[in-house]
Structure 1
Amino acid sequence: MKATPEFGFRRPPYVRIRTGLMLAIFAACYLTIGGRLVMLGAVEEAVPVAWPSPPSKARPNLLDRNGHVLAMDVPSASVYAEPRKMVDVDEAVEGLLRVFPDLDASDLRRRLSSRSAFTWIKRTTSKAERDQLWALGIPGVGFRDELRRLYPNGRAAAHVIGAVNVDNIGIAGIESWVDRQGLQALRGAGLNLGGNLEPIQLSLDLRAQHALTSELSEAVTKFQAIAGAGLVMDITNGEIIALASLPDFDPNVPTDALKPDRINRVAVGTYEMGSTFKAMTTAMALDSGLFDMRSVVDASAPLRFGRFSIRDYRGQNRPLNIPESFIHSSNIVMGKMAMAVGPEHHRTFLKRLGQLDRLTTELPESASPLFPAKWGELNTATISFGHGIAVTPLQASMGIAAVVNNGRLLRPTFVKGAPVEERVVAEGVVSERTSEALRFLMRLNARVGSAGKADVDGYFIGGKTGTSEKVVNGRYDSGTVLTAFMGIAPAHAPRYLFMTVLDEPKPLPETYGFRTSGWNAVPVTGKIIARVMPILGVGPAGTPPLSPFPAMASARAWGSNLFVGGPRVASGISY
């Protein structure tokens, strides 16, 4: 090979060709890779993640009757991963567990190691969690902006408010009702109204709700009951001011609501309500015209049906008139009066009072009453004092409200200002005179009967107690009871009804071994009345009302006829 003086050896032409060819090949590879990267970027932009569910949509705020927020939407983010784009699964798992320590490590590693295109990591995270995860910068992990439902008062009125699922769709209570009022249809049409939804104002008073729940919780603990329930209802329009069922749950953790003991005992639980039913039986008897306040019924011997006998608890063993039978809560008298009216009329009367049909309100949770298909004399006798028929406490409250508000049966509501006329189930279920008689008897019971421990000074309350034996192993067990109390205030012109139920309360030394309603449900209701009435703007009256029961005024002249063989207090009763 020939050399030149300046440059040494001269390269052959084929070397230059080979070098150019290799440069061209490398350039083509780089161009191909670059083009592929550009294409992938374009595809990522054009083809979004295939979400398994649509992003959560806005819901209207829920307010109490005074405008306090019960439920609201807050911004949130859900975390997802695209396993196919994972660079280092172990590093991703470690980072995710640092932010979300409650995740299952083995399950997370298994899902991130798969070849799937998408998997959820965590739904509805907090802003702090999102910021922490963002700082880690884990490849293949992303966020989706969503809305999370927040219940700022925690457990307060949980059984009324209900809850939503992770997609912000109502699954219980008022939240479910809201969806059924058209919100779900709007979502199905692809509309997202954002912040344009008007808030929904419920009939609940958050302050009254707290007072009710607080006193009820204290009673459940004190009497070692397995559960408790209560409500405050405006008798004049059927609005529910407060409702509590214990144990309850936190709607911010909706899975707690799935526990079997977390049911809404007021609207879903069905119970034999015991002697509270005697208010309805007495109203039926008086309204039938077969009995009046002077009627005397012999309760000196048990009521017998073959081998089955109906006795009085701590019976007087003598003839009783109607006021006596009410304050002594005589099973015998109630059974005899109901049988005199007749099984068919008895059944018809209870149906008119809404006790034999499923009660429907805004709450989707409800239960059908349980009663005998064949209604004979024995059924009439036992149902007259609240055994042999099981209804929801809300249903029973509705019936009691009707017999003391001059016979107007209103379907309860949880929405403030819901039109009353649209909820009138029946008018004139009892006469005005019968209604006044029931108010008089309930007031009398608070003065000299079993409701005395609920008689709060200045509030002129009335009420009826109830203690029912529960069925254990197919038989009634006298040691396992459900106690209930229905109180009205003020008794002469009822505005509010207070209902309390304690499930399996235990006797205490201070109750002298008794577990009946007068020793537990009644005093608890008295405490609730004392706390709630001032909240609702009703202060204690300095003096009793003048002539509170005008149709019953003649009772003052009945003297000894009012209490045959008993204390002669009618003519001097302090209303």
Structure 2
Amino acid sequence: MIRVPLRPLARVIAARNQGIDPDVVDAERRAAACRLRRAEETRRAQRRLWLLSAVFVMGFGAVAGKMAVISASDVPQQEQSATADPLRAHRADIVDVNGELLATNIVTSALYVETRRMVDPEGVAIGLANIFPDLEAEALMTLFARPGNFHWIQSQVSPEQLQAVHDLGQPGVFYGPRETRVYPQGRRLGHILGGSRFEREAARAAETAGTAGVELMFNERLGDPERIDEPLRLSIDLRAQNAMRDVLAQQMERFDAIGATGILMRADNGEIVSMVSLPDFDPNDRPAPRGPDADQLFSRASQGVYELGSTFKTLTVAQSLELGLVNPETMIDTRGPLQWGRFRIRDFHNYGPELSVTEVMEHSSNIGTARIALDIGIERHQEFLRELGFFDPVEVELPESRSARPLLPPRWSDLSTMTISYGHGLAATPLHLASAYATVANGGLRVTPTLLADAAMPTEADRVISERTSGMVNRMLRAVVSDGTAGFADVEGYEVGGKTGTADKPSQGGYAEDRVIATFAAVFPASDPEYVLVVTLDEPEDRSGPVVRRTAGWTAAPTAGMIIRRVAPVLGLRPQSRQSDPEIPGMALAGGRG
């Protein structure tokens, strides 16, 4: 039996008194109560819906925010920059004076792993070790076990290697794009360009920075985003560079020398057309500074400090001519040996009681040059060499050269002046010598060596000697080749002038008897020099005859002649008639040691 709840009696009586059916009143009451319940339920549902919407909005907002942060940030880097600067992934090209490419970028890939995403670390290690010969599986496993999720594997990966990595099918192995610096000429410009490396790396880019040479000197210029499309143009002529390196390598092997240097410079403004130092290195695979091939990084041209022998006689004679102390025909006492305290200065041969200044140059007389230097005096001699740049490092665009300071005598005496006058007692780089010869040969205006094309010309403010003195010196240099110790440097049609220099190498507080630095400093054409060439061979030995010959006349001079024969046509110099030149004696080299 279902019990029906009773209606309130008071409401029934009140309805009847008003003549209203109590059932209608009760139905209206129930309808009103139902509406109130529905309204409350609607409000409750709306509140729940708004709350749920807010939760969904907050959740999806957090996810979207995290995705935005991830997309706008790099994968953790191996190297964090100390600054907030963006990575400069691009770098300007370097070209030679004719626009030939010397350094550029190519797109490659870098390989890295995220260990948290790996499924089979051991399989990854074995697979990568099989692809990259320089990697070992055990070393990779040790790397994967280190703290952190992100680890670099290879900075540069070839397309073939990248495909092999893809074929592994291993999760957790990733690659990022790179612009890798490459040097198409390889070893031929190693000491000039220097090389580069990745300085800052991220997963999607890496910033390249120079490590030495022109790359380091012009690091900011090459990485400037506003000048990326503007190549850095050097004064180097790649054709001359290739020719010089080929000749030096050939002659270095022929004379069993331990090193060789060649510098070709424009005489008028000091632009370096070619500069070679052997042994050299490939900047694409730069040796470690302390590795077994570290000696290849040393540039004999701009860093090597040597006594350069009788090539200094040209500078001594030039100063004496400028001061009016001598002229080319002045007779100089060459009786020897020249005694100075307990020291004796000798000549390679006995040249008789006296020689003219020109003959002192031709026969390379130490005694004659020492007497000329004594008349100049210590202070004037020092000042002249200072003007020519022998007291400071060479100001060339190579950071390494800044440490190559000439070695000067601790106490500059009369004896120092005499020995330095013929190239002993002061050590400098071959680049110092090339600059000095360009100054003396170009009419007397000091030049500063440069590796940049379109260098400024010197002005009268740079004058060191007069044009008249320069002309006399050039004629003497020509005589040294046509009649003196440098006959093997003569090249038909190119009027070569120059001076030989053979310096014993220092050894245990003295000088070695069988090891020399052989140097030849040349100008051509001698009547109006356009180029200066300095060639240096370290410990050369000519064993083609019955006795071993080490002097520059037999080693450096013929090497210079071979270089001029190769590069002069490349530089646009046309051979001239030699009708006015005297015949070169067959045994001209026997005159002196040089």
Provide, for residues 353-403 of structure 1, a one-character-per-residue CA deviation record: whole Å limited to 9, x for no partner: 111111111111211111013211011011000000011100111011111
CA deviation after TM superposition for structure 1 residue 255, in Å: 2.4
Equivalent residue in structure 1 for 2:493, among 444, 458, 470 = 458
Contact 2:194 2:216 in 1 (8 A): yes
- Give 1:267-306 correspondences, 5 Å limit: 267-306=302-341
Q: Aligned residue for 2:209?
A: 169
CA deviation after TM superposition for structure 1 residue 346, in Å: 0.4
Q: Match of 2:492, as an amino acid? A: D
- Give 1:54-73 correspondences, 5 Å limit: 57-73=89-105
Q: Aligned residue for 2:37?
A: none
Instruction: Give the SS at the match of 2:161.
Output: helix
Q: Is 1:318 aligned with 2:344?
A: no
Which stretch shows the higher mean deviation, 402-411 or 109-118? 109-118
Q: Which runs of 4+ in 1 moved over 6 A?
A: 38-41
Q: Aligned residue for 1:410?
A: 447
Structure 1 residues 387 and 104: alpha-carbon distance in aligned structure 2, compared to 1, 3 A threshold: farther
Q: Match of 2:149, as an amino acid? A: A
Kindly name which structure, 1 or 2, has the bigger radius of gyration based on alpha carbons: 2
Cα distance in 1 for residues equivalent to 2:546 and 2:190: 32
Q: Match of 1:340, as an amino acid? A: D
Q: Aligned residue for 1:518?
A: 553
Contact 1:281 1:338 in 2 (8 A): yes
Q: Aligned residue for 2:575?
A: 540
Q: Match of 2:242, as an amino acid? A: H
Equivalent residue in structure 2 for 1:235, among 242, 267, 289 = 267
Contact 2:443 2:471 in 1 (8 A): yes
Cα distance in 2 for residues equivalent to 1:278 and 1:272: 13
Instruction: Give the SS at the match of 1:119.
Output: strand
CA deviation after TM superposition for structure 1 residue 242, in Å: 0.7
Q: Is 1:50 aligned with 2:76?
A: yes
Q: What's the TM-score once normalised by structure 2's chain length?
A: 0.81
Q: Aligned residue for 1:252?
A: 284
CA deviation after TM superposition for structure 1 residue 427, in Å: 2.4
Contact 1:268 1:365 in 2 (8 A): yes
Q: Match of 2:270, as an amino acid? A: G
CA deviation after TM superposition for structure 1 residue 68, in Å: 0.8
Instruction: Give the SS at the match of 1:518.
Output: coil
- Mind listing any 5+ residue stretches in structure 1 that lack a counterpart? 1-34, 187-191, 549-555, 557-566, 568-575
CA deviation after TM superposition for structure 1 residue 264, in Å: 1.0
Contact 2:500 2:521 in 1 (8 A): yes
Cα distance in 2 for residues equivalent to 1:105 and 1:281: 66
Cα distance in 2 for residues equivalent to 1:46 and 1:351: 58
Q: Match of 1:52, as an amino acid? A: Q
Q: Aligned residue for 2:476?
A: 441
Structure 1 residues 408 and 48: alpha-carbon distance in aligned structure 2, compared to 1, 3 A threshold: closer
Q: Match of 1:293, as an amino acid? A: P
Provide, for residues 179-201 of structure 1, a one-character-per-residue CA deviation record: whole Å limited to 9, x for no partner: 144x56x5xxxxx55x8430111
Structure 1 residues 174 and 257: alpha-carbon distance in aligned structure 2, compared to 1, 3 A threshold: farther
Q: Aligned residue for 2:109?
A: 77
Contact 1:409 1:426 in 2 (8 A): no
Cα distance in 2 for residues equivalent to 1:63 and 1:39: 48
Structure 1 residues 126 and 282: alpha-carbon distance in aligned structure 2, compared to 1, 3 A threshold: same
Instruction: Give the SS at the match of 1:255.
Output: coil
Cα distance in 2 for residues equivalent to 1:57 and 1:46: 17
Q: Aligned residue for 1:12?
A: none
Q: Aligned residue for 1:23?
A: none
Aligned-pair Cα RMSD in Å: 2.4
Percent of aligned positions that are identical = 38
CA deviation after TM superposition for structure 1 residue 81, in Å: 1.3
CA deviation after TM superposition for structure 1 residue 202, in Å: 0.9
Cα distance in 2 for residues equivalent to 1:322 and 1:330: 10
CA deviation after TM superposition for structure 1 residue 39, in Å: 10
CA deviation after TM superposition for structure 1 residue 511, in Å: 7.5
CA deviation after TM superposition for structure 1 residue 127, in Å: 2.3
Q: Is 1:474 aligned with 2:500?
A: no
- Give 1:135-174 correspondences, 5 Å limit: 135-167=167-199, 168-174=208-214
CA deviation after TM superposition for structure 1 residue 521, in Å: 0.5
Contact 1:444 1:462 in 2 (8 A): yes
Which stretch shows the higher mean deviation, 435-444 or 412-421? 412-421
CA deviation after TM superposition for structure 1 residue 300, in Å: 1.2
Q: Match of 2:379, as an amino acid? A: E
Structure 1 residues 506 and 257: alpha-carbon distance in aligned structure 2, compared to 1, 3 A threshold: farther
CA deviation after TM superposition for structure 1 residue 311, in Å: 0.6
CA deviation after TM superposition for structure 1 residue 52, in Å: 2.5
Q: Aligned residue for 2:232?
A: 200
Cα distance in 1 for residues equivalent to 2:189 and 2:257: 20
Q: What's the TM-score once normalised by structure 1's chain length?
A: 0.83
Q: Aligned residue for 1:400?
A: 437
Q: Is 1:374 aligned with 2:411?
A: yes
CA deviation after TM superposition for structure 1 residue 419, in Å: 2.5
Contact 1:450 1:518 in 2 (8 A): yes
